Structure 1
Amino acid sequence: MTALRQITPLDHLLTEAQRALDTVFGNPPASRPYPAEATPDVRMAAPERRHAAGLMRINHVGEVCAQGLYFGQAAVAREPETRAHLLDAAQEETDHLAWCAQRLRELDSRPSLFNPIWYAGSYTIGTLAGLRGDGWNLGFVVETERQVEAHLDEHLDTLPPADLRSREVIKVMKIDEARHADHAEHAGARKLPAPIPSVMALASKVMKTIAYRL
């Protein structure tokens, strides 16, 4: 019987590099149907279309960041259960990434030019959060997802009324994000101390401001 080859640090490095390339430069497929498939694509005026594209570009960047965060956190998670939780959530975030990319194409727009920077920064933050221990790791998931829920609510309020397809995508994303936070809480997440949530909110505001246009 041939012995199984042991996974080496180089194997892990190559895996993480492939994940980064797929997220930033690839077009990873969704595992679930596109939420807006049966929703009519209503014609919008040019300013409304640009505004909708800006919001969906923010959401696409958010999913790029989510991939970086979750993969970074999973890479240093101490317990297999925590790692599995993070990778399961990352798979649903991959669906969101694919859906946002599709909606951007429908709006004749494109992802953010700074996606490599967003991913690298998020992966670094995720790794640092994970090194504090699984309780803090999961606490970071909860805070991240709660903040994402809030900005998705803002987008539902500010999307052009005619943009029904973006609205359907965001609704499903919001449900998923809430579930990720709930699962992390039940798995033993610790509440992040001040000023970490405020710093996260400030960083998110900077990202959204830039991604809306670029």
Structure 2
Amino acid sequence: MTRQNRLLAALGPEERDALLSLMTDVALPQGLELSQPLSPIDHCYFPRTGIISTVVVSPTGKQAEIGIIGREGMSPSSAILGTDSNPFRTVMQVDGHGLRIRREDFQRQVEARPALRAVMLRWVQAFSCQVAFTALSQAVDHVDERLARWILMCHDRVDGDRLALTHEFLAVMLAVRRASVTNALHVLEGNGFIYSQRGIVVIRNRAALEAFAANSYGESEREYARLFPS
């Protein structure tokens, strides 16, 4: 079970068993809200399958995704740093299953076990790197490249080549109009990288999609691999 979450798998047996004794296996359906901005954190989540989206929300309600989390990590990383709230919205983007632990229990374990804390702080570094490169991509990359990067990141976190994604959800994640998502999907599909139909994206040529994404994809992935070698 723990091998399906790479962050738990990176722990020593004593630290992993201590967390597992406090965890519950839960379903994580698409659209499930895991936390709201500045609201108290009740639980921390370690996905085994599925994808969590971390979204920043403006005072006027505008939203943009800043990071995604699958079986390589946990959410929210702010709990590792000892806080009791999260400044971001976290929601299940792709449904799955995972392990849930009460935030207070998790923080007590992190405080009491230096080896656990060291691994979790490496995850904070890895996720912070992803957020930084998302900000860079949003600033300098064309929407076609940003969509390619995002599809690749989702593909990294699921089994198989099919992604259940609606245009509306993609528009929120990329902070663009729905029409821009449709146009970008047409570009990727026209190049033979993907196949798209209502609510589904199928990867057809992963290598070509990576080449198209160019510099927008890969740096945060390399940082994760450095921090958590196989």
As a proportion of its length, which structure holds more strand?
2
| TM-score class, shorter | 0.3 to 0.5
TM-score, normalised by the number of residues in structure 2: 0.33
Q: Which of the pair has the greater relative contact order for Cα pairs under 8 Å at 6+ separation? A: 1
